């Protein structure tokens, strides 16, 4: 803002003021959004480095959730791993969680262990996650029924990213806010989709490496068995040759 005085020379006093005010809220919001996006992407980059430099992605999961959850000021950051039981239905279990200071962790809670994934509970969530799409749960984007479903569980905003491995829904990376009914920004959603893709790639790499190592171990066992059989066969041939030679000498 700025202002300039208008002096009344006749009466030797201030006659008025002219000036202007510029609203820069939008500009500041854009700058804040860019800073937040940069902060989240830094957390994603650090997470990627941890995951791809570790022989086991599970060992880095706690620190990854800490980096991501803190970067977006979430209440919780968590990871659920899916598995299919003998009945053919999908069950999921929280295997890691970061919790903001002052909040209670749900890790190990029965309500988040061996949970049957039912499309009837929150159908929009189930459809998105099973289809490989992020679930953006806030008051702006959800209808009243779905939003009330979250509020009944003391969740004011929810953002979940599915983890898909070889076209199969393998697990879920998620964040919630239990203190503010926030609207997830495009920067948060885009950056966390990238985080989900990084985690998917790390899991896929380890699965492939494990499968390759198992194949190599099987080949080693097969080669060792063939070598043993060849050695036994050679021993039998040598023994047979000795017997034949002995018989010939006897004749």
- Taking the CA of residue 108 as centre, how many other CA atoms within 13 Å lie in the half-sphere pointing to its CB? 2
Q: How far apart are CA 25 and CA 12, in angstroms?
A: 39
Q: For residue 186, what pLDDT is reported? A: 85
pLDDT attached to residue 85: 85
* Among 201, 200, 194, CA closest to 41: 194
- The tokens for 229 are 């059989």
State which residues of the chain have pLDDT below 50.
none
Average pLDDT, the chain: 87
Can you give the pLDDT at residue 103?
A: 93
Element holding 82 (H helix, E strand)? strand 76-84
Q: What is the 3-state secondary structure (H, E, C) of 194-234?
A: HHHHHHHHHHHHHHHHHHHHHHHHHHHHHHHHHHHHHHHHH
Structure confidence at residue 251 (pLDDT): 63
The string of pLDDT tens digits covering residues 149-199 is 999 999 999 999 999 998 889 999 999 999 999 999 888 898 889 989 989
3-state secondary structure of 169: strand
Which pLDDT score, from 0 to 100, does residue 205 have? Answer: 87
In this prediction the pTM is 0.73
Q: What is the pLDDT of residue 53?
A: 87
Half-sphere exposure of 68 (CA within 13 A, CB side): 37
pLDDT at 119: 66
Beta-bridge mates of residue 78: 97, 174
Q: How far apart are CA 68 and CA 46, in angstroms?
A: 9
Q: What are phi and psi of 92, to 5 degrees?
A: -135, 150
Residue 187 CB contacts under 8 Å (≥ 6 apart), including other chains? 33, 34, 36, 37, 40
């Amino acid at each position: 803002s700025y202002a300039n005085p208008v002096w009344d020379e006749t009466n030797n006093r201030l006659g008025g003021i002219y000036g202007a005010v510029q609203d820069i809220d939008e500009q500041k919001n854009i700058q804040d959004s860019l800073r937040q996006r940069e902060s989240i992407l830094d957390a994603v980059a650090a997470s990627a480095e941890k995951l791809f430099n570790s022989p086991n992605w599970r060992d880095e999961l706690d620190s990854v959730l800490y980096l991501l959850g803190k970067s977006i000021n979430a209440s919780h950051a968590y990871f659920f791993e899916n598995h299919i039981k003998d009945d053919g239905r999908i069950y999921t279990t929280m295997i890691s969680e970061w919790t903001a200071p002052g909040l209670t962790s749900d890790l190990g809670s029965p309500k988040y262990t061996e949970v049957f994934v039912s499309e009837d509970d929150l159908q929009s969530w189930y459809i998105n996650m099973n289809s490989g799409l992020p679930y953006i749960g806030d008051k702006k984007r959800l209808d009243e029924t779905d939003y009330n479903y979250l509020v009944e569980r003391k969740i004011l905003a929810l953002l979940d990213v599915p983890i898909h491995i070889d076209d199969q829904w393998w697990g879920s990376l998620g964040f919630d806010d239990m203190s503010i009914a926030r609207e997830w920004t495009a920067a948060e959603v885009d950056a966390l989709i990238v985080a989900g893709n990084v985690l998917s790639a790390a899991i896929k790499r380890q699965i492939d490496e494990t499968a390759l190592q198992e194949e190599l171990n099987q080949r080693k066992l097969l080669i060792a068995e063939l070598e043993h059989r060849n050695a036994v066969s050679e021993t039998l041939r040598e023994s047979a040759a000795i017997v034949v030679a002995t018989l010939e000498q006897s004749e």
